[in-house]
């Protein structure tokens, strides 16, 4: 069987005086090494996408992390400078892609910005600069040049018994590399909270009643694929769901 294809929506970046559609290598590598999948980078367009045409050609969707944040207007808030930077083209691509992938039962794994997009797409809200909130720890990336230190696995999360995530990783607690200054505030009505940090910050969710794998995590399992057990297990579970979806599509063709 050929490698199933997973769509990874691009970010917009201004580099060398021109506009680029980009995805960090760590997500591409994790899809290949951890999931056994062939990545397809989907351009970020503010208009012009036919989402069903995209989903007709892929077997799964992987939403990556990014420096940019979901625009607050998409969850009913006025944007402030501290909420940025923004990427309206990515928002315009991922919001309908998420909703339609869930409707069609296309497996979905949403990481960092991705879990926030998932929550907003389904009607939830986000909180900014959570480290300034009473009782909330500082989840931001460490200000050091060494990326292994930036992405160090150091934060404990508690996975709920019987959750979708527990099926892949086991229930109880383990450590992750969660790096963020925004987080889910009000979870969307059809999202189940699957894991929380010790300060109560939502660290993982799943789509209630989803036809296939549909999970979001606030941490970065892609960075340590090949070296960390939980990271490997999450991408393995996603890869298996994508292969199952690809096989079912072939039977129906």
Active site residues: 112, 220, 222
CA dihedral of 245, 249, 251, 253, whole degrees rounded to 10? 180
Mutual angle of helices 229-252 and 25-33, in 10-degree steps: 70
Which tokens sit at 251? Answer: 């039977």
Cβ-contact 199, 135 below 8 angstroms = yes
User: Which residue shows structure tokens 């960075």?
Assistant: 223
Length of the chain in terms of residues written: 253
Cβ-contact 155, 195 below 8 angstroms = no
Residue 173: Cβ-neighbour burial (10 angstroms; 0-12, 13-18, 19+): exposed
Task: Count the alpha carbons within 13 Å of 140 in the hemisphere toward its beta carbon.
Answer: 11
Which tokens sit at 38? Answer: 């062939």
Write the CB contacts of 173 (distance below 8 Å, at least 6 apart in sequence).
156, 157, 158, 159
Query: 55: part of which helix (H) or strand (E)?
Result: helix 51-56
Write the CB contacts of 191 (distance below 8 Å, at least 6 apart in sequence).
118, 119, 122, 124, 205, 206, 207, 208, 216
Cβ-contact 204, 216 below 8 angstroms = yes
């Amino acid at each position: 069987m050929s490698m199933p294809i997973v769509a990874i929506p691009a970010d917009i970046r201004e580099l060398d005086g021109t506009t680029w559609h980009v995805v960090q290598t760590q997500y591409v590598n994790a899809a290949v090494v951890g999931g056994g999948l062939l990545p397809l980078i989907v351009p970020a367009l503010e208009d012009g996408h036919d989402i069903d045409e995209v989903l007709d050609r892929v077997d799964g969707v992987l939403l990556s992390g990014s420096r940019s944040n979901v625009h607050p207007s998409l969850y009913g808030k006025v944007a402030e400078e501290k909420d940025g930077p923004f990427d309206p083209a990515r928002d315009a691509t991922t919001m309908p892609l998420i909703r339609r992938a869930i409707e069609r039962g296309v497996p979905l794994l949403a990481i960092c910005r991705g879990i926030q997009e998932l929550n907003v797409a389904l009607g939830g809200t986000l909180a900014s600069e959570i480290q300034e909130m009473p009782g909330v720890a500082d989840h931001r990336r460490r200000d050091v040049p060494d990326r292994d230190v930036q992405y160090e696995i150091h934060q404990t999360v508690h996975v709920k018994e019987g959750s979708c995530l527990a099926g892949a990783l086991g229930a109880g607690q383990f450590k992750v590399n969660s790096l963020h200054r925004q987080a889910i505030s009000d979870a969307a009505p059809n999202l189940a909270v699957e894991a929380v940090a010790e300060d109560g910050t939502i660290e993982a969710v799943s789509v209630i009643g989803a036809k296939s794998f549909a999970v979001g995590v606030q941490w970065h399992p892609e960075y340590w694929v090949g070296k960390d057990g939980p990271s490997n297990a999450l991408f393995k579970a996603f890869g298996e769901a994508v292969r199952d979806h690809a096989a079912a599509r072939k039977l129906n063709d």
